Structure 1
Amino acid sequence: MAVTIAVESPLQDDVRELVAELNEVLLALSPPEACYHLTVEQMAEPGVTVWIAREDGRAIGCGALKRHSPDVGEVKRMFTRPECQGRGIGRDILTRIVGAAQDDGMSQLVLETGDRHPAAWAIYEKAGFTRCGPVLDYPESPYSIFYQKQLGRTASAA
């Protein structure tokens, strides 16, 4: 079945379940103090846009753009359910995040991800993100990998 990706509220029950699954996965890979989760309530705040991937109506993936300033946005809450991985869903969500940041006129996207997430690294690197030092107010940590991407109207996530 076709996968659809759209901007949705994170305050839906099935999205809450998806985010809870994401949190379980992250907590299995990193200590709690190294997990910088946005709650679904924080994801619903102004300045955050959430994309939900669905297949047959079921929420199977998510990603968010958190706006920190007119120039800087952060990629947050990227996740595809394990049984749906490898189908380009994360890449497609990231493409939408990058596009929205460009449409907003941002000059840079940044993100923090875990040190045990090579599949995520591959998606970010293929989308033109490069590793960097700590971003925003994240501390230096052996559990964190940081990325940045300079944006322009002609930049692409693909």
Structure 2
Amino acid sequence: MEIKQDFIIGKEASELIMDHLRNMSIHSPPESRHALNLDGLRQPDITFWGAWEDGELVGCGALKELDREQGEIKSMKTSADHLRKGISKKILHHIIEVARERGYLRLSLETGSMDAFLPARKLYESFGFTYCEPFGNYGEDPNSIFMNKEL
């Protein structure tokens, strides 16, 4: 598997992100959806990567710079055809390494509190993320869980 930065967010990545947004609409009420759309992922403070295997996009992830010391994980998604193959682990490892290279002291994220998001929470826990209070522009929300990792 190769993880490559995607500067334009091509057709395959756009389809994966649209699937991610559709899943958010199933599990989260509108006021609790914090997933970025394609325009949001193209902002200068966002770095977006695609994970490719044999010419197929199998997953993606993004890193948003909140400030010089903190980044936020965004848009972690594995293709439905490639679940439970360790793709998200590899993408998350890549994002953590880039955050360290940038000199961030903390990496944070928001995810859903519903059962559908339990696999994601377990993944983040396995990488040493711990539960925390809302950060950045987030507020308290019963549908959101916040996590961070000191780097």
After TM superposition, the score normalised by the length of structure 2 is 0.93
Q: Is the 8 A contact 2:133 2:146 kept in 1?
A: yes
Q: Partner residue of 1:61?
A: 59
Q: Partner residue of 2:126?
A: 126
Question: Post-superposition shift, 1:119?
Answer: 0.6
Runs of 4+, deviation exceeding 2 Å:
none
| Identity across matched positions, percent | 36
Partners of 1:11 and 1:83 in 2: CA distance: 20
Q: SS in structure 2 opposite 1:68?
A: strand
Q: Is the 8 A contact 2:109 2:146 kept in 1?
A: yes
Q: SS in structure 1 opposite 2:94?
A: helix
Please show how residues 6-155 of structure 1 align to structure 2 within 5 Å.
6-116=4-114, 117-151=117-151
Partners of 1:32 and 1:101 in 2: CA distance: 29
Q: CA RMSD in A?
A: 1.2
Q: Is the 8 A contact 2:24 2:35 kept in 1?
A: no
The AA in structure 2 aligned to 1:90 is S
User: How big is each residue's C-alpha offset from its partner over 1:58-102, in whole Å with a ceiling of 9 and x where there is no partner?
Assistant: 222111000011001000001112221111100110111111110
Point out where structure 2 has 5 or more consecutive residues left out of the alignment. none
More helix by share: 2
Partners of 1:55 and 1:19 in 2: CA distance: 18
Point out where structure 1 has 5 or more consecutive residues left out of the alignment. 152-158
Partners of 1:48 and 1:86 in 2: CA distance: 26
The AA in structure 2 aligned to 1:84 is H
After TM superposition, the score normalised by the length of structure 1 is 0.89
Question: Post-superposition shift, 1:46?
Answer: 1.6
Question: Post-superposition shift, 1:9?
Answer: 2.5
